[in-house]
Amino acid sequence: QLQLVESGGGLVQPGGSLRLSCSASREILDYYVITWFRQAPGKEREGISCISRSDDTRVIYAESVQGRFRASRDFVKKTVYLQMNNLKPEDTAIYYCAAERRGFGDWCTQEGYYGLWGQGTQVTVSS
């Protein structure tokens, strides 16, 4: 089953933390690059973190989230996580996970490469 399901969004105060989950099949975890995207109202969709497939540990982060967000994966739970710390109002967006069966590289932050997307989960950072 080639399907992605995001969860974990919600309302959080500035400076707070939130962890998003992306449930994926083992097939996806084994062979696909999995990336978190976000889209704020009126803005383009932004690739914020890419995690390499299978036993490759490489991760790419967008400058906007570098040092604050951390992506990880759990092959047993079949889940990719996005731990978001020190959240800012500008982090408010719908967050999506996406996957592509392609070798890891800088392409991964570009939405045009992805054909498999989750439904999105809303993150709102506000006091």
Q: What are the tens digits of pLDDT across the range 114-124? A: 999 999 999 99
**Dist CA 119 CA 78 (whole Å):** 17
Residue range 7-44, pLDDT digits in tens? 999 999 999 999 999 999 999 999 999 999 999 999 99
Which pLDDT band, with edges at 50, 70 and 90, does 57 fall under? confident
End-to-end CA distance of the chain: 39
